[in-house]
Amino acid sequence: MAEYLDALTYIVSSPTNLFFIVFSVIWGIAFGSVPGLTGIVGVALLIPFTYAFESEQSLLLLGGVYVGATFGGSISAILFNTPGSPEAACTALDGYPMAKRGEAGKALGIALASSAIGGIFGTAVLMLLAPPMAQLALEFGPPEYFALAVLGISAIASIGGGSVLKGLTAGLIGLGIATVGLDPITGMGRYTFGNNMLLTGISFVPVIIGTFAMAEVLTRVGEGNKSSTAITDVSTKLPSRKEMKDSSGTLARSSVIGAIIGALPGVGATTASFISYSEAVRWSRHPEKFGTGVAEGIAAPESANNSAVGGSMIPLLALGIPGSATTAVMLGGLTVHGIIPGPLLMEQNTRLVYSVFIAMMFANILMLAFGVRAARYFALILTVPYAYVGPAIIVMCMTGVYGLNGNMVDIGVMLAFGVVGVLLRVMKYPVASFIIGLVLGPIAEKSLRQGLIIADQNYLEFAARPITAALLLLSLASLLYGFYGQYKLARERRNATTVADTAD
Amino acid sequence: MSKNIIEFSFALGLFAVSVWFWLIADGFPVSPRYEGIDTDFWPKITFGLMALTSGLVALGSLRDMLAARRVPASTSVNPADWGTIGRMSAMGLLVLFYFIAFGKVGFVLSTIVFLWAASAMIPSGRFWVKVAFAPIFTALLTLLFAYGLSLPLPRGVGPFYELSLLLY
């Protein structure tokens, strides 16, 4: 309790902190609402700016952006039929039909209320579970950390939505890039090609900004002028008490699903929202109405994806393992300040951790206040021509990366990874897998080798520890599930082709 | 050119790179103290697996390529795709010029010119707004970085350096 009081005093005693929470929520909603920009880009772009602030303030900013962006995605999904972020893809299924019926304000209101409920639930779960989990993680040895890292990599490859092999390859590219620099055990240089600057490895932040923000702008510019119909004249109407009561089951179920799935390393809000949506359909008395603009079709994905935000912060703060692509990017932001997330962070930097808990709670409440009043203004962002937005983002990428160390090499790295990001997107290799691989690579390598040293290179002894074995089995199950999904998809496609051929 | 050929070439390229990096790892210096978990241990696992997965992706693309020979029109790269590649490349080149100018000319001038050129390249928005947007956005960003956050901005070289000193 004393930790919460200390953190609360820290936040409210400084107007700057409060301003940062407000600003980050606005920034997050703005980035989340513009299709393609997403919360990851919003977080990545803010990282260099946080360099000028205290570490606590930086995490307040990044946490607030994550919260705001997850809701922001639903604005464009409802009004534009184009999800601002992947986790809002499900919201468009019922949000846009409802908006087209002339009930855009109601749809936004349901999304907003559900997001706030899910977000508050997820943050409460984070507050309750992160400290004991960190305590438990203190007992973890290198084998458990290795198994956690493997679970993260395998999960994102399996549930990425596309080809499992491509997901794995993207993750392995990230793991490979993470090997550049000094070996963490022997201290020998690897893949430096005689360049001393590469001895310290490839800087994480320029890679993130390049693969997400820069690549996004280049891809959008490549797509040219895409015209779509946006509904921008709206006034948000929060659902009535009766409507909330009707959706209470869906909200509760989806919030729980979101928090659990969000907490799994490597699986994020997108999976949470899709699973919650399908569960809402399964439990509904009128499943046939889903997709035509029903309230539960908006409430389920929105409460789940916002609950997953709090859930995905659990492994980041308690274990130092990112629970999603956004938290992987946040991890990069923390390293800028020399903070290593993990169980020791909870003990050594309690104010930072508890400030994040409180700030995320504030952010969810603020989101509700902003959303009601300002959804229509955020909707206007969608009408700003990309001729201003795109180039402005490139300038912010360049300036932000230069601001980190004041050198041009970082910008060169960012541009190179911008090209890598474009190639991965064009070739349909998931960028999120790449980033997770890049983040988890050093953790996996170091813990595997340390574990093998401790186990005297006895692989059986290494893998036979109960938690390690359970996590490795989960990873295997996750991979097999992914392969099975791909096999099923291929079989369906083959059947469809056969039917088409027969019809011809 | 078929999309499948591009996919196949990309996967094959990844396969070749992973094999090359595996061979580089094989040449890393070894130490008896760390035998079995030496410097090459992790890179060999990573690039070995990458060779395997990218090789499988390449084989899958090859299979699709052969299957698609029955309906070549559906998988060929259409003019719209070439337009996409062209626009992306043009913006990429512009960003590259901006990168060079960023260090040589300094932040303010290079950014204003880049914003004018980039916004002109994207066909949306009004001409006069584009003209005004570049200097206003640059001024705001300069104020934020140089004065608000006290973060460094490139000043360029020679006369540009002198000019930048007057501004920030």
Region A255-261 average pLDDT: 88
Closest CA to A421 of B53, B56, B92, B97: B92
- Cα(A221)–Cα(A156) distance, rounded to whole angstroms? 28
- Cα(B109)–Cα(A273) distance, rounded to whole angstroms? 46
Q: What is the pLDDT of residue A114?
A: 92
Structure tokens at A110: 């349901």
Identify whether the C-beta of residue A279 lies closer than 8 Å to the C-beta of residue A306. Answer: no
- Cα(A452)–Cα(A430) distance, rounded to whole angstroms? 31
Q: What is the pLDDT of residue A497?
A: 64
Q: Look at residue A65 and tell me if it is in a domain.
A: yes
Full residue range of the structural domain in which residue A322 is found: 2-225+245-497
Closest CA to A319 of A170, A158, A474, A141: A141
Region A170-199 average pLDDT: 90
Task: Name the residue facing B145 among A403, A422, A452 (closest C-beta).
Answer: A403
Structure tokens at A454: 């401790």
Task: Name the residue facing A218 among B29, B39, B88 (closest C-beta).
Answer: B88
Quickly tell me which residue has 């919360």 as its tokens.
Answer: A39
Identify whether the C-beta of residue A205 lies closer than 8 Å to the C-beta of residue A401. Answer: yes
Does the structure show a pLDDT above 60 at A218?
yes
Chain CA centroid to CA A384, Å = 25
Query: What does the domain layout of chain B look like in residue ranges?
Result: 3-75, 79-167
Res. B21 pLDDT band, cuts 50 70 90: very high
Q: Look at residue A195 and tell me if it is in a domain.
A: yes
A122-151 core/surface letters (b: 16 or more CB in 10 A; e: else): bbbbbbebbbebbeebeebbbbbbbbbbbb
Contact A224 B46 (CB under 8 A): no
Res. A12 pLDDT band, cuts 50 70 90: confident
Mean pLDDT computed over every residue of chain A: 82
Highest-scoring range by mean pLDDT, A85-99, A280-294, B88-102: B88-102
Task: Name the residue facing B14 among A169, A403, A452 (closest C-beta).
Answer: A169
Does the structure show a pLDDT above 80 at B1?
no
From A195-199, A262-266, A284-288, A369-373, the region with the lowest mean pLDDT: A262-266
Chain B within 8 Å of A217 (Cβ-Cβ)?
yes
Chain B within 8 Å of A173 (Cβ-Cβ)?
yes
Q: Look at residue A49 and tell me if it is in a domain.
A: yes
Identify whether the C-beta of residue A90 lies closer than 8 Å to the C-beta of residue A277. Answer: yes
- Cα(A46)–Cα(A44) distance, rounded to whole angstroms? 5
Q: Look at residue A86 and tell me if it is in a domain.
A: yes
Q: Which residue stretches of B41-78 are H helix? A: 41-67, 72-75
Counting every residue written for chain A, the total comes to 504
- Cα(B121)–Cα(A390) distance, rounded to whole angstroms? 11
Q: Look at residue A238 and tell me if it is in a domain.
A: no
Q: Which residue stretches of A138-214 are H helix? A: 142-158, 164-177, 204-209
From A225-239, A418-432, A435-449, B37-51, the region with the lowest mean pLDDT: A225-239
- Cα(B82)–Cα(A362) distance, rounded to whole angstroms? 48
A421-431 core/surface letters (b: 16 or more CB in 10 A; e: else): bbebbbbebbb
Helix, strand, coil tally for chain A in percent (to 5)? 80, 0, 20
- Cα(B26)–Cα(B44) distance, rounded to whole angstroms? 7
Res. A157 pLDDT band, cuts 50 70 90: low
For residue A199, the tally of other CB atoms under 10 A from its CB is: 12
- Cα(A82)–Cα(A88) distance, rounded to whole angstroms? 9
Region A183-204 average pLDDT: 88
Chain B within 8 Å of A190 (Cβ-Cβ)?
yes
Measure in Å the smallest separation between the Cα of A30 and chain B Cα atoms.
18
Q: Look at residue A94 and tell me if it is in a domain.
A: yes
Quickly tell me which residue has 């997050």 as its tokens.
Answer: A28
What is the count of structural domains for chain A?
A: 1
Chain B interface disruption, residue of A384, A427, A486, most B CBs within 10 A? A427
Strand partners, B2: B76
- For residue A92, CA distances in Å to A72, A80, A88, A301 come to 13, 9, 7, 10
Chain CA centroid to CA A497, Å = 36
Amino acid at B21: F
Region A144-162 average pLDDT: 71
Mean pLDDT computed over every residue of chain B: 87
Sign of the torsion angle spanned by Cα atoms A188, A192, A198, A204: negative
CA-based radius of gyration for chain A: 22
Reading phi first (left if > 0) and then psi (alpha if -120 to 50, else beta), residue B156 is in left
Measure in Å the smallest separation between the Cα of B164 and chain A Cα atoms.
15
- Cα(B119)–Cα(B133) distance, rounded to whole angstroms? 9
Identify whether the C-beta of residue A240 lies closer than 8 Å to the C-beta of residue A443. Answer: no
Q: Which residues contact B80 (CB under 8 A, 6 or more apart)?
A: none
Burial class (CB in 10 A: 0-12, 13-18, 19+), B102: buried
For A181, the enclosing helix (H) or strand (E) is strand A181-182
- Cα(A113)–Cα(A119) distance, rounded to whole angstroms? 10
Contact A394 B124 (CB under 8 A): no
- For residue A177, CA distances in Å to A207, A341, A388, B14, B28 come to 10, 21, 33, 13, 16
Q: How wide is the angle at C-alpha B92 spanned by C-alphas B86 and B97, nearest 5°?
A: 130
Chain B within 8 Å of A457 (Cβ-Cβ)?
yes
Res. A227 pLDDT band, cuts 50 70 90: low
- Cα(A28)–Cα(A40) distance, rounded to whole angstroms? 9
How many residue pairs bridge chain A and chain B with CB atoms within 8 Å of each other?
170
Chain B within 8 Å of A500 (Cβ-Cβ)?
no
Q: What is the pLDDT of residue A415?
A: 93
Structure tokens at A81: 């039929």
CA-based radius of gyration for chain B: 25
Contact A219 B24 (CB under 8 A): no
List of chain B residues whose C-beta atoms are within 8 Å of the C-beta of residue A169: 11, 14, 50, 53-54, 57
Contact B115 A395 (CB under 8 A): yes
Task: Name the residue facing B125 among A186, A385, A403 (closest C-beta).
Answer: A385
- Cα(A440)–Cα(A189) distance, rounded to whole angstroms? 20
Largest CA distance in chain B: 70
Number of alpha carbons in the 13 Å side-chain half-sphere of residue B42: 31
Region B145-160 average pLDDT: 84
If one compares A350 and A24, the residue with the highest pLDDT of the two is A24
Structure tokens at A25: 């929520």
Q: What is the pLDDT of residues B73-119, one digit of tens each?
A: 555 556 567 788 888 899 999 999 999 999 899 999 999 999 999 99
Chain B interface disruption, residue of A218, A219, A396, A398, most B CBs within 10 A? A398
Q: Look at residue A504 and tell me if it is in a domain.
A: no
- Does the predicted model carry a pTM greater than 0.80? no
| Cβ contacts of B58-67, under 8 Å, gap ≥ 24 | B58/B8, B58/B11, B58/B12, B58/B14, B58/B15, B60/A163, B60/A165, B60/B11, B61/B4, B61/B7, B61/B8, B61/B11, B62/B8, B64/B4, B64/B7, B65/B2, B65/B4, B65/B5, B65/B8
The interface pTM score, or ipTM, of the predicted complex is 0.90
Q: What is the pLDDT of residues A291-325, one digit of tens each?
A: 888 888 899 999 999 998 888 888 888 888 776 77
Q: What is the pLDDT of residues A400-440, one digit of tens each?
A: 888 777 888 889 999 999 999 999 988 888 887 787 788 77
